């Protein structure tokens, strides 16, 4: 049971780590993706509120 919990915790930390980094449309997240070039915007993850934000990711622009 402890091993399963450790694996789940490690996977969750790995997934969350990819969202670290800056939050601009041209340099977004830990991978430094250019969201603007792909027709997307950079948004906070999991919340746009800076106090609750863990990092950033590209999102589809919907009008």
What is the average per-residue pLDDT within 28-56? 87
Query: pLDDT by residue (tens digit) across 48-57?
Result: 787 888 888 8
Domains of the chain: total: 1
Supply the pLDDT for residue 29.
Answer: 87
For residues 29 and 15, give the distance between their C-alpha atoms in angstroms, rounded to a whole number: 12
The answer to pTM > 0.75 is no
**3-class SS at 18?**
coil
Query: pLDDT by residue (tens digit) across 11-31?
Result: 444 444 455 678 899 999 888
Note down the domain range covering 42. Answer: 2-60
Q: Please give the C-alpha separations between residue 10 and each of 13, 16, 38, 53, in angstroms, as whole numbers.
A: 5, 10, 30, 20
């Amino acid at each position: 049971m402890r091993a399963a919990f450790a694996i789940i915790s490690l996977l969750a930390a790995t997934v969350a780590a990819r969202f670290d980094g800056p939050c601009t449309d041209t340099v977004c997240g830990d991978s430094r993706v250019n969201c603007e070039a792909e027709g997307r915007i950079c948004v906070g993850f999991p919340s746009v509120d800076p106090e609750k934000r863990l990092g950033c990711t590209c999102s589809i622009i919907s009008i």
